[in-house]
Amino acid sequence: MTFNIIVLAKQVPDTRNVGKDAMKADGTVNRAALPAIFNPEDLNALEQALGIKDQYPGSKITVLTMGPVRAAEILREGLFRGADDGVLLTDRAFAGADTLATSYALSMAIRKIGSFDIILAGRQAIDGDTAQVGPQVAEKLGIPQITYAEEIQEIDSQKVRVKRRLENGVEIVECPLPALITVNNSARACRPRNAKLLQKYKHARTITERQAESIDYIDLYSSRPYLNLNEWSVVDVNADPKLCGLSGSPTKVKKIENVVFQAKESKRLTESDEEIEELMKELIRNHTIG
């Protein structure tokens, strides 16, 4: 028994570093200072896929991402960790997509990939924390979904059994295949890169990446077809351009506003014993504490 698995992964700015060194003096983020990373929970999703492949050798994992050409970096990262194939969905017409337009584009790419048993996604991407794309893709494909998954406990050709992590508890659910599962960060962490796979795939490139490099080892790419990463446009996936990118996004940003917090009259203290004791006394006196 083998499974065809698609992992949805997004390259995101490392928003966890905001505030540490990426703030500009005017209070906005210096995006260039933020590394672009594999969305953390998408790595948890990849690990669940790799677990299935460990159990059922011969299963195939395809990582699918929509983004700029640079997002091919995470496809290679996926290959280094054990994925079998990567697809980059890139086109100017995809730019400015909200979650709905994103899910439309991804669902069209999944239709082009064709057969699949399971789609794994992260619960949410850290640049928005919205957790919308997974369920929206599932609806577009007309398949059931399991969100907030922590562990795929059992899988056979008919169904999958999954442990979900709820706000205050856990749920074990069983669902027929094909299905889409979104994975939480409470799931096992992703295994590291594998040195052999790193050697094997380090030259994997999309066509645009190859064109941008000064020397193109044509022979290398024709003799080792697995080094050619798929790069698909709107036309390649038969998508309707009106439903993609900005024009396919029902949500529009009306305006962006800079927030200035009303500076309060605050009392400034040092860490000296006297000042801290005085503060505690004041808080006790006015019944804030005690």
Partner 1 sequence: MDNLFVYLEIEDGVVADVSLELLTKGRSLANQLGCKLEAVAIGGNLGTVEKQIFPYGVDVLHIFNDERLSPYTTLPHTSILVKLFKEEKPQICLLGATVIGRDLGPRVSSALGSGLTADCTSLEIGDHEDVKTKKVYKNLLYQIRPAFGGNIVAWIVNPDHRPQMATVREGVMKKEIYSPIYTGEIVEHNVNEYVSDEDFVVSIIDRHVEKSKVNIKNASIIVSGGYGVGSKENFQLLYELADVLGGEVGASRAAVDAGFAEHERQIGQTGVTVHPKLYIACGISGQIQHIAGMQDSSIIISINNDPYAPINNIADYVIVGDIERVIPKMIKYYKKNTK
Ligand X SMILES: Cc1cc2nc3c(=O)[nH]c(=O)nc-3n(C[C@H](O)[C@H](O)[C@H](O)COP(=O)(O)OP(=O)(O)OC[C@H]3O[C@@H](n4cnc5c(N)ncnc54)[C@H](O)[C@@H]3O)c2cc1C
Window 9 to 68, contacts with ligand AMP (CB under 6 A):
9-10, 39, 41-42, 64-67
70-129 residues in contact with ligand X (CB under 6 A) are 127-129
241 Cβ neighbours under 8 A, 6+ residues apart: 93, 234, 247
* Residue labelled with tokens 């645009």: 208
CA dihedral 252, 247, 127, 183 (to 10 degrees): 120
Contact code string over 270-289 relative to ligand X, x by CB under 6 A: --------------------
171 Cβ neighbours under 8 A, 6+ residues apart: 163, 164
**Distance of alpha carbon 278 from alpha carbon 283, whole angstroms:** 9
Interaction partner, residue 240 (ligand X, partner 1, ligand AMP, none; CB < 5-8 Å by kind): none
101-130 residues in contact with ligand AMP (CB under 6 A) are 102, 106, 121-122, 124-125, 128, 130
36 binds ligand X (CB under 6 A): no
The token pair at 67 is 């983004």
Q: How far is the CB of 92 from ligand AMP (least distance, A)?
A: 15
Q: Is the peptide bond before 241 cis (omega within 30 degrees of 0)?
A: no
The token pair at 161 is 């059994």
**Distance of alpha carbon 8 from alpha carbon 78, whole angstroms:** 11
19 binds ligand X (CB under 6 A): yes
Please say whether the beta carbons of 73 and 11 come within 8 A: yes
3-state secondary structure of 63: strand
Closer to partner 1 by Cβ: residue 196 or 254: 254
Closer to partner 1 by Cβ: residue 57 or 261: 261
Residue in 4, 14, 15, 139 binding ligand X, rule: CB under 6 A: 15
The token pair at 274 is 């006297």
* Residue labelled with tokens 């992260």: 122
230 binds ligand AMP (CB under 6 A): no
**Distance of alpha carbon 144 from alpha carbon 139, whole angstroms:** 8
Identify which range of 98-106, 210-218, 247-255, 266-274 contacts ligand AMP by CB under 6 A. Answer: 98-106
Interaction partner, residue 266 (partner 1, ligand AMP, ligand X, none; CB < 5-8 Å by kind): partner 1
Q: How far is the CB of 34 from ligand X (least distance, A)?
A: 10
List of residues contacting ligand X (CB under 6 A): 15, 18-20, 127-129
List of residues contacting ligand AMP (CB under 6 A): 8-10, 39, 41-42, 64-67, 99, 102, 106, 121-122, 124-125, 128, 130-134
